[in-house]
Structure 1
Amino acid sequence: MTPAVVVFGTAGYARTHLRRARALHERGELVLAGACDVREPPDGDLVPVFTHDPAELLARVPADIAVIATPPHTHLPLARLALAAGCHVLVEKPPVLDLAAFDELTERARGRACQVGFQSFGSPAVGVIRAALARGAIGAVTGIAAAGAWIRRDRYFARTAWAGRRRLDGHAVVDGALTNPFAHAVATALLLNGTAGALPERTTVELYRARDIESDDTACARLCFAGAPDVVAAATLAAEADHEPYVLIHGTDGRIRWHYKTDVVLIDGEPVQAGPPEDLLANLVGHLRDGVPLLAPLDATRAFTALVEAVRDAPEPRRLPHARAVGTGPDRRFVVPGVDRAVDDAAERLALFSELALPWTPAREER
């Protein structure tokens, strides 16, 4: 079987999906059959069939797989369309924006494969870490943290209409530090905790903004589960410097730190180079052809979707009074002094920002 693939979306990260699909096409593993977008296709991203309408594309191309790499609030409508046309689906993160939509997508996808674009799930580091935990390398796990501190400039928030928004045209978008740029860190921490497919008993979120946007650019959260350690996440896009994001596993006898962007795992300080992640589209093709397990199935993103819903329903982000602007024009960025250290402290102590000695007064919302 050589599946025919269509890609919904041609700009932003969708271009990465197009490049990967084209590489697999050239290796004879799939047929890149078409793409659609509301915009014209960019130069060099030519496909046999291009439309502005996904329904028209599916009517013209007998596709087996649809890759959905469009704004978050469009994922569910496009997945409905693709699944109804008989396609298997690879949908970008976040797959959907609340648990009701998650349940609907789960039901509609019965009998079809639904993969989610959490690329870190395909890393060999997952197996390395699970093996280390199984042999008791750090004792019993007491908690897992996800941490990220990046610089993002004005051009990042100007790249698309939904960037920095909680809502757009009456639809929830839920862009934010934990739900978009550092979604991989949060979802991976939940995966390693063994609770990715579970619902948290309690979710606490604290949302802030350094710049004048609708969504948060700095946030933290704690997800509490029955019979499993807590997961704490802390992140900012108003950092003093760019840092490698990481997942930190706390144990009674040590720690494991995974820099998931570079696939370096530190087991009690000893480095292990785990290797690059397996491509999720190639994995989906292998699943359909040979029955290999999906690396990032939809049911492994339930807990992450619960966090997205909690962020959606939380109070508006609080303004960080100590934030300052640096630079001008598209290169302007906002900096919160000390926030880089605060993110690391939250991960080290499995603490929310409100539990650290910070000059902030967070809004806490439990759901």
Structure 2
Amino acid sequence: MSLPKVAVVGVHGHGGSHLRTVADLEAKGLARLSAVVDPREPDDAPASWFASLGDLLSADADALPDVVVLATPIHTHLPLARAAMEAGIDVLLEKPTAASLAEHAELVAVAERTGRLCQVGFQTFGSHALPAVVDMIARGEVGRVTGIGAVGTWVRTAAYWARSPWAGRRRMGDRAVVDGVVTNPLAHAVATALWVGGARTSTDLAYVNTDLWRANPIEADDTSSLRAVGTDGTRYGFGLTLCAAERSPARVIVQGTEGEIELEYEHDLVRLRTGRVVAEKQYERTGLLENLLLARSSGERLLCDVRDTGAFMQVLDAVRTAADPAPIGDAFVEWVDGGGAGPGGGPGGDGAVGHGAVGQGNPEGDARHPVVHDVAAWCERAAREQRTFTELGAPWTTLG
């Protein structure tokens, strides 16, 4: 039997990781790369190149892939995934799922109408740590759950916000983009916390409160807190920033009456702390493309079916429809270079350019970034107390 053919759409930037994944699967005899799609032809393309998905879909039938991986801008997710599924092709769609809850509903409808598989690229959903945490909760390891939080304190440089025309935008013309901390870089923190709490669909959340801020000169949020409450009463708190002094592992925290569970989802690492035990274990992870291929061949359940991202999309829609993020006052922000504290000035200023923050999700280029004073501590409180920065009285929220 011939190997499933995989095409990767959007091969520059993050798309390169998908090319490496397909290469690994090809080495295992599970798939083969049949095409790469990008407006800009890559040097030494590893497979046949097409400038657009439309060009690929209109090619000879022999050129059509079995699966497409879509690593494209957020506002293109719906039209490209719809075109692929209507052509009879299964889809691995990068997160976030779409640019609005309405677009998500349309994607689900297309998947159901065409019978195609649509997996969303929340990589943490493939972690074996997630069901392990859910099992700990069900066994009562931490008693009654009092709240679930997510803390993300990352660093994004000026080069990150200059990486593409849609970076840091809330909208482009009449199209929603919603490229902020909650909905893109730290979307995994939000989605993973909701998954652990059992929130899958949009109807699993009763409401979402947003508190959106920005230290960068962008449209979108880079420092935000949220509170969500599930229809089952579960309380969720999120403290997220791209303006930390240094990057730390993002965490999901399950608090209970008898202890807590901490999940470092980037490393599949779980820590259990109770009055009786302190334990730590690292888990394995199943790749989402490999899982999609198994779902095609053997009917295995998708780990991140598009239908199971509705709760996250409810949060995204709350961010999308909220008031534009408020700027954080200069008194609470210090601009530093990539290697540490510098003379400030922000993008376009005269501060030194370093490279300590390059990597870790940042492209090469201008390595300056803002640091919001004590933001890591405020993010921790927002997650643990399920209260927003404004409710907590974070200093940048009290001065207009």
Match of 1:302 among 281, 286, 310: 310
Q: Does 1:121 align with 2:157?
A: no
CA distance in 2, matches of 1:186, 1:78: 25
* Structure 1 counterpart SS, 2:212: strand
* Structure 1 counterpart SS, 2:395: coil
Shift of residue 162 of structure 1? 1.3
- The answer to whether the 8 A contact 1:264-1:271 is kept is no
Q: How many equivalent residue pairs? A: 361
Counting aligned pairs with the same residue, the percent is 40
CA distance in 1, matches of 2:309, 2:233: 17
Shift of residue 348 of structure 1? 2.1
* Structure 2 counterpart SS, 1:340: helix
- The answer to whether the 8 A contact 1:145-1:232 is kept is yes
Equivalent in the alignment of 1:355? 391
Q: Does 1:261 align with 2:263?
A: no
Equivalent in the alignment of 1:17? 18
Matches within 5 A, 1:1-367: 2-43=3-44, 46-60=45-59, 61-110=63-112, 111-199=115-203, 200-268=205-273, 270-321=278-329, 322-327=332-337, 328=351, 329=353, 330-361=366-397
Shift of residue 132 of structure 1? 0.9
Shift of residue 83 of structure 1? 0.7
Q: Which segments of structure 1 move beyond 3 Å, counting only runs of 4 or more?
A: none
Shift of residue 250 of structure 1? 1.2
Q: Higher mean Cα deviation, 5-14 or 195-204?
A: 195-204
What is the identity, as a one-letter code, of the residue corresponding to 2:335?
A
What is the identity, as a one-letter code, of the residue corresponding to 2:326?
R
What is the identity, as a one-letter code, of the residue corresponding to 2:280?
V
* Structure 1 counterpart SS, 2:397: coil
CA distance in 2, matches of 1:21, 1:194: 31
CA distance in 2, matches of 1:319, 1:275: 40
Which runs of no fewer than 5 residues in structure 2 stay unpaired? 338-350, 354-365
Shift of residue 42 of structure 1? 4.2
- The answer to whether the 8 A contact 1:124-1:274 is kept is no
- The answer to whether the 8 A contact 2:254-2:261 is kept is yes
Which runs of no fewer than 5 residues in structure 1 stay unpaired? none
Shift of residue 264 of structure 1? 1.3
What is the identity, as a one-letter code, of the residue corresponding to 1:272?
E
Equivalent in the alignment of 2:359? none
* Structure 2 counterpart SS, 1:207: strand
Per-residue CA deviation, residues 301-347 of structure 1 (Å, 9 max, x unaligned), is 00111111111111111111111222334121101111111011112
What is the identity, as a one-letter code, of the residue corresponding to 2:74?
P
- The answer to whether the 8 A contact 1:49-1:57 is kept is no
CA distance in 2, matches of 1:214, 1:263: 33
Distance 1:261 1:271, change over 3 A: farther
Q: TM-score, normalised by structure 2?
A: 0.87
- The answer to whether the 8 A contact 2:100-2:176 is kept is no
Per-residue CA deviation, residues 6-65 of structure 1 (Å, 9 max, x unaligned), is 11110111111111012112221012110111112144xx23311102111123322111
Shift of residue 297 of structure 1? 0.8
What is the identity, as a one-letter code, of the residue corresponding to 1:51?
F
Shift of residue 221 of structure 1? 1.0
Distance 1:307 1:98, change over 3 A: same
CA distance in 1, matches of 2:279, 2:84: 43
- The answer to whether the 8 A contact 1:128-1:274 is kept is no
CA distance in 2, matches of 1:146, 1:196: 16
Distance 1:42 1:205, change over 3 A: farther
What is the identity, as a one-letter code, of the residue corresponding to 1:90?
L
Distance 1:48 1:206, change over 3 A: same
* Structure 2 counterpart SS, 1:346: helix
- The answer to whether the 8 A contact 1:6-1:65 is kept is yes
Shift of residue 362 of structure 1? 7.5
Q: TM-score, normalised by structure 1?
A: 0.95
- The answer to whether the 8 A contact 1:166-1:175 is kept is yes
